[in-house]
């Protein structure tokens, strides 16, 4: 048992090293479809392995102007492993970014790096949107604030320009889900989601994100995070206040409805 496990680790290390090399070779001419998609499995087995993130040097894009080409290069080098190079993630807890409003994407990428004004002594590094995984990822973007802003503008432009491959509803509780989405829950003071996210789920640029076609599991996690004050970055606490009034059953139903709403 032990020996075959060790062998697996070595094999995974080799795979990771090879994909790392492949990425390094690609850095000069970034491809839309990075082989980074194979990385997470290797990461899980060998935390110390060479990851695509380590192989990509953000300095390689510093001279590029703000725009989709710069965004595409960074996405292929750093984001593809989880969100895919075109932002059509295949993993439910790694949100789809394709076709999202650029101002919303940009805001999230600023919120992941900005230390919260409400950070307490216990967690002085708490971010405006405090997520351990994305905290690690934004640390790989440019350290210089001006260059960082250029990175996130470019990434937002790139992912926003990509065509969303949408999720569909699994029919969890369509009557409840649609009812909440379109009409809210008047007895509890829950407003209609459609009022801000639009009847089709397309959102309203620049303030309200698209929710149509997103993974239901991701939406559920976000709604619970808003409810438990783990995600606190909605302006004027709008989403926190709404989510606090929702039960688990209501969250599941509306999250599933949003995946399919068009």
Confirm or reject binding of residue 223 to ligand HEC (CB under 6 A): yes
Angle between helices 248-260 and 216-227 (to 10 degrees): 140
Q: Least Å distance between CB 2 and ligand HEC? A: 29
Binding residues for ligand HEC restricted to 156-215, rule: CB under 6 A: 180, 190-191, 193, 195-197, 207-209, 211
Side-chain-side CA neighbours of residue 227 (13 Å): 15
From the CB of 209, what's the least distance to ligand HEC, in Å?
A: 5
Of 221, 253, 259, 261, the residue at the interface with ligand HEC (CB under 6 A) is 221
Number of residues that bind ligand HEC (CB under 6 A): 41
Residue 58 near residue 140 (C-beta atoms within 8 A): yes
3 vs 203 by CB, closer to ligand HEC: 203
Rounded to whole angstroms, the Cα distance separating 185 from 161 reads 35
Q: Which is nearer to ligand HEC, 1 or 236 (CB)?
A: 236
- Give yes or no for residue 252 binding ligand HEC (CB under 6 A): no
Stretch that binds ligand HEC, among 18-26, 54-62, 73-81, 142-150 (CB under 6 A): 73-81
Q: Tell whether residue 94 is a contact of ligand HEC (CB under 6 A).
A: yes
Q: Which of 73, 76, 164, 219 binds ligand HEC (CB under 6 A)?
A: 219
User: Which of 26, 46, 88, 137 lies at the binding interface for ligand HEC (CB under 6 A)?
Assistant: 137
Question: What minimum distance in Å lies between the beta carbon of 142 and ligand HEC?
Answer: 11
Using rule CB under 6 A, residue 113 touches ligand HEC:
no
Mind spelling out the 3-state secondary structure of 40-51? HHHHHHCCCCCC
Kindly list the residues in this chain that would bind ligand HEC in the complex (CB under 6 A): 74, 78-79, 81-83, 93-95, 97, 105, 107-109, 131, 133-134, 137, 155, 180, 190-191, 193, 195-197, 207-209, 211, 219, 221-223, 233-235, 238-239, 242, 254
């Amino acid at each position: 048992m032990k020996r075959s496990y060790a062998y697996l680790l070595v094999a995974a290390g080799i795979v990771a090293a090879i994909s790392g090399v492949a990425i390094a070779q690609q850095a000069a001419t970034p491809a839309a479809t990075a082989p980074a998609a194979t990385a997470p499995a290797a990461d899980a087995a060998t935390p110390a392995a060479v990851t695509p993130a380590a192989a990509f040097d953000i300095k390689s894009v510093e001279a590029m102007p703000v725009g989709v080409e710069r965004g595409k290069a960074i996405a292929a080098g750093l984001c593809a492993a989880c969100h895919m190079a075109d932002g059509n993630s295949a993993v439910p807890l790694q949100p789809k970014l394709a076709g999202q409003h650029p101002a919303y994407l940009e805001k999230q990428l600023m919120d992941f790096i900005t230390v919260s004004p409400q950070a307490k002594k216990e967690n002085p590094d708490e971010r405006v949107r405090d997520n351990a995984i994305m905290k690690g990822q934004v640390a790989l973007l440019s350290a210089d604030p001006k260059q960082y802003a250029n990175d996130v503008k470019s990434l937002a432009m790139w992912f926003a320009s990509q065509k969303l491959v949408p999720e569909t509803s699994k029919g969890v509780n369509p009557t409840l889900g649609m009812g909440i989405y379109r009409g809210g829950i008047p007895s509890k003071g829950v407003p209609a989601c459609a009022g801000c996210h639009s009847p089709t789920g397309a959102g309203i640029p620049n303030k309200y994100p698209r929710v149509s076609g997103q993974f239901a599991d991701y939406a559920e996690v976000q709604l619970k995070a808003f409810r438990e004050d783990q995600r606190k970055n909605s302006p004027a606490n709008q989403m926190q206040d709404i989510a606090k009034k929702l039960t688990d059953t209501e969250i599941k139903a509306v999250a599933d409805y949003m995946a399919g709403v068009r």
